[in-house]
Amino acid sequence: MNTLKLKLLLGGILHKKLRLFLSVLGIIIGVSALFLMNTFGEAAKKKTLKEIETFGPDILMILPGQVRVSAGRAIQTEQRTTLKMEDAQALEKIYGIKALSPLFSGTGTARYSFKTITTMLNGVNESYIFLRKFSLIEGRNFLKGEITGYKKVAILGYKVKKELFGEESAEGKVILINKLPFVVIGVLSPIGIDASNQDQDDQILVPITTSMSSLFNADYLSGIYVAVENPSLIPQIERNIEELLLKRHRVSPSNIDFKIIKAEDIFKFRLEASKLFTTLVQSISILCLLVGSLGVTAIMLLSVNERKKEIGLRLAIGASRRGVLLQFLLESILITFVGGLVGLLIGGLLSIILLPLLKYPWVFPFKPIIVSSALTVFFGLISGVYPAYKASQIDPAILLKGL
């Protein structure tokens, strides 16, 4: 009896194969898009958290000029030269500040043997690596005496080391930075893109004093990184920094010439942008599922009309209306389930290909699988209710008159 029911079920579904494929196409597109976007949403959160690690909740960044945070990036809309080394020295006296590092950034060339590259040159002090939570795979950090003594020493980013030295050790080697000789004292561990959207592996760290005097001949800073003892102190420390710098720069709050950026600002904008994009695509995906389910409904109604005589005959020989209703409901669920399964497989395959290609971390898509499966079953039920009810209400006496 069960075998007969299965044959009736599959026979009704597979009777028109092309029509079956077209009816589930919307389901396949909707489920695969929903799965893919949920996976990308989870991966984006993981990536953002990883990038924010080097700009943690205990870090503040002071930038000169006008700055706005857009799409999770601090973008300077106006450059100023008012942030000075003396400002950094004055900030050290504020209660709650654990460490700080002035920063001067500029592009330059680095040469070793016959290899020359263009990279970012960042002048920092001995606290920079500590407060940015960077680690070294080779060598050591700057010494305080090397900062105050204007020494020509350098710490290479991982990518810079690979490009200049390959697998050879870089420690102790002499490279030319903007044609000046520097001794390599260390190499940073791989970091990748950070919260400011900069590739931290493509940089060379040098003493801030050497950078400003010998490499760029500048008397101003590109920024100041500040590490606080306790993140709960950040609001008060932020106010104290603002008051001090306004007084030192002799400007009013309406003409402020610097911006204090917190990890919270970057993280909030990154997540909001990610959520907005994910929500938009999820809405489109659900719309595809809805359209697909309407297609299944139309196909099932067409199937009911074509199989009226079969349904009437079955009802006449003892089949129950409940059984007919369940049969067509199961047909609808099975069609959407197959479409959902194919959609999950396509979405999973695209995730495996696209996540590493777009440099997103791999995440196990547990939530996308649950969400997509639940929605597929839900839409399968919705699309099958009316056709199943229609089939169960057929009057066998009227249909059998024409036989």
Look up the pTM and report it. Answer: 0.63
User: Has residue 290 got a pLDDT over 80?
Assistant: no
Out of 212, 227, 242, a domain closes at 227
Quick one: pLDDT at residue 18?
63
Q: Are residue 13 and residue 115 in the same domain, yes or no?
A: no
Asked whether residue 255 is domain-assigned, the answer is no
Quick one: pLDDT at residue 206?
97
Q: Are residue 132 and residue 208 in the same domain, yes or no?
A: yes
User: Has residue 402 got a pLDDT over 80?
Assistant: no
Out of 196, 227, 258, a domain closes at 227
CA distances from 385 to 168, 294, 297, 300, 392 (A): 69, 12, 9, 10, 11
Q: Are residue 113 and residue 202 in the same domain, yes or no?
A: yes
Q: Are residue 184 and residue 295 in the same domain, yes or no?
A: no
Is residue 278 within a helix (H) or strand (E), and if so which, with residue range? helix 263-306
Asked whether residue 380 is domain-assigned, the answer is yes
pLDDT, averaged across the chain? 79
Residue 252 tokens read as: 């009013």
In sequence order, what DSSP letters do the residues of 257-273 get, joined into one string? -EEEEEHHHHHHHHHHH
Residue 270 tokens read as: 């990154």
Q: Are residue 214 and residue 132 in the same domain, yes or no?
A: yes
Asked whether residue 244 is domain-assigned, the answer is no
User: Has residue 3 got a pLDDT over 80?
Assistant: no
Q: Is 270 exposed, middle or buried (0-12, 13-18, 19+ CB in 10 A)?
A: buried
The structural domain count of the chain equals 2
Asked whether residue 22 is domain-assigned, the answer is yes
Name the residue range of residue 159's domain. 98-227
- The CA R_g of the chain, rounded to the nearest whole Å, is 33
Q: Are residue 297 and residue 209 in the same domain, yes or no?
A: no
Asked whether residue 375 is domain-assigned, the answer is yes
CA distances from 256 to 31, 63, 253 (A): 50, 11, 5
How far apart are the C-alpha atoms of 262 and 292, rounded to whole Å?
Answer: 45
Kind of pairing, strands 115-124 and 203-207?
parallel
Q: Are residue 283 and residue 367 in the same domain, yes or no?
A: yes
Q: Are residue 122 and residue 18 in the same domain, yes or no?
A: no
Asked whether residue 120 is domain-assigned, the answer is yes
User: Has residue 347 got a pLDDT over 60?
Assistant: yes
DSSP label at residue 143: P
Strand partners, 76: 67
DSSP H helical segments within 113-255, as ranges?
A: 128-131, 144-148, 158-165, 208-210, 234-249
Asked whether residue 56 is domain-assigned, the answer is no
Out of 165, 200, 227, a domain closes at 227
Q: Are residue 285 and residue 380 in the same domain, yes or no?
A: yes
Q: Are residue 296 and residue 205 in the same domain, yes or no?
A: no
Give the position of tokens 């104290």: 240
Q: Are residue 19 and residue 139 in the same domain, yes or no?
A: no
Quick one: pLDDT at residue 348?
83
Quick one: pLDDT at residue 388?
63
pLDDT band at 232 (very low <50, low <70, confident <90, very high): confident
Q: Are residue 322 and residue 384 in the same domain, yes or no?
A: yes
Quick one: pLDDT at residue 57?
73
**Mean pLDDT, rounded, for 356-385:** 71
How far apart are the C-alpha atoms of 35 and 369, rounded to whole Å?
Answer: 7
Asked whether residue 144 is domain-assigned, the answer is yes
Q: Is 149 helix (H, G, I), strand (E, B) or coil?
A: coil
How far apart are the C-alpha atoms of 187 and 158, rounded to whole Å?
Answer: 6
